[in-house]
Chain A
Amino acid sequence: MNLLTGAIASLLLVPIFVVVGIFLGLLFRGIDRKLGARMQARVGPPVRQPFIDLRKLLMKENMVPRHAIGWVFNSAPVIALVSALLLLLYLPLFGFAPLLEGYGDLILIMYLLMVPAIALAIGGFSSGSTYASVGAQRELVLMMSYEFALAVVTVTIAFIVSLANPLLNAFSLATLAALPVWELAGPIGAIGLVLLLLALMLVMPAELGRIPGDIAEAKTEIADGVLVEYSGRNLALFNLAQDVRTIAFAALVVAFFFPYNIAPHFITLEGSAGMIANAAFFLIKLFIVVFAGSIFVHVAVARFRVDQAAKTYWGPVLGIALVGMALAIFGAMMVI
């Protein structure tokens, strides 16, 4: 009975997650565009610009090209958005445990992170445009490039946790939130963890399809690539999926490396005041991650060519991740 009421309660929470996720995604996109403009000494659009864009796109005509495979073309954006939102249910947000804790773990999150990218590629292939096919192929090449480094980081984190506590489920997000890896890895391991964090931040732009990793959409080369045939509602859904995935990926970085809560460890606040402090602290952490991994990077650098991206992610980034893995595991073994 208790389990049933619990399940119903979490079902009721799902719409709140959807609304909060979409709101945060659009808000962060707005901050992104504003800050990017300020860094280029421009005034920039208002922070609520993504909300306006969304309303406009929902009002526009939704066209399906003659050569497209209609049902694939129309379902790909929905799949992308749903899987991005689903990610949020498995991640610890605002200092709370994940909503679906116990129903899925890190491995599932890794797969869910891939789904929007695959949906994007499938949508591109199904739209029957050459530009979209080129974009979709690029998306897949990019995915194959960064996925290994991402997996190395993930597995190392889980391995360190399981070394210290063999009895706990190391792939559970709640375990990771309860046991910050920095305390398990020792001084040498901490250097490795810094390298792992660096690798993860380098993967972030490619994962989120932002400059320098936006080669699948490359506006100036292949005319918006995978999205070339998408208009109106479908385009809005893809953009939303991208924004929500930014939040989800940043929340994952926070869960891996900065799971600390501010109350009651650092400031003595009990009950709801503590919760609010934790939520605000979480937003700050999220913003720092998005700023370092996406906003700052896309202003500072230019786009990769597809071969450069593959070389970078298979070469230096993977190297950093592997060295980080070796150091972190070595450090963790020294501690126990």
Chain B
Amino acid sequence: MGIDSLKRSLWVFHVNSGSCNGCDIEIIAALTPRYDAERFGIKLVGTPRHADVLLITGPVTKQMKEEVLRVYAQTPDPKVVMVIGNCGSTGGVFYESYNIDGPVDKLFPVDVYVTGCPPRPEAIIEGVVKAWKKLESLEAGK
């Protein structure tokens, strides 16, 4: 019940797991009036407790691993995990580096990967649309 309302009201929490800030700037760009993500009910929230979508940037450094896991646990179900950027998807330029514990899908299942270093805001919005599709398939599966 109500999964369809989740599609029109995705509240996003942004986790930086040690990124270079490039992806973070693009996420903020996707939320500016030019792209106006609020049209689709997408809203940036300040705490994982309010979130439906976790936007994770960065390759998960050793320092950030516990925090990222904790934020994941603090997000109420049902939730969608999106990884923004090459770093979080594969390790990117930090691939097999000594100080990372990532990429993100080593820690918990990831639903949408948005690649690019950094990805354009359009790509991020397309990723959110894919998150809708995932929710649709969840609904159809039930």
Contacts and interface: CB of A to CB of B under 8 A. Distances in A.
Interface of A: 33, 37, 40-45, 49, 52-53, 55-56, 58-63, 131, 219-220, 223-224, 227-232, 235
Contacts of A60: 52, 76-78
**Overall SS of chain B's interface:** loop
A56 B6 contact: yes
Contacts of A49: 8-9, 41
Contacts, number: 80
A216 B47 CA distance: 14
Interface stretch (B31-39, B97-105, B111-119, B121-129): B31-39
B46 interface: yes
A42 B39 contact: yes
10 contacts: A37-B38, A43-B39, A44-B39, A56-B5, A56-B8, A59-B5, A59-B6, A63-B76, A231-B49, A231-B76
A131 B48 CA distance: 13
Report which residue of A44, A59, A62, A229 has the largest number of chain B beta carbons within 10 angstroms of its beta carbon: A59
Contacts of A231: 49-50, 76
Interface residues of B, number: 23
Given A44-B36, A45-B39, A60-B77, A228 B49 contact: yes
Contacts of A43: 36, 39
Given A45-B39, A61-B77, A63-B74, A56 B52 contact: yes
A220 B1 CA distance: 32
B78 A53 contact: no
A53 B41 contact: yes
A41 B40 CA distance: 16
Interface in B49-87: 49-50, 52, 74, 76-78
Contacts of B40: 45
B3 interface: yes
A59 B3 contact: yes
B2 interface: yes
B45 interface: yes
A44 B35 CA distance: 11
A228 B48 CA distance: 8
Nearest to A43: B39
Nearest to A55: B5
Given A42-B33, A45-B41, A229-B47, 19 more contacts: A42-B39, A49-B8, A53-B9, A55-B5, A56-B9, A59-B2, A59-B3, A59-B78, A60-B52, A60-B76, A63-B74, A63-B76, A219-B46, A220-B46, A224-B46, A228-B46, A228-B47, A231-B50, A235-B50
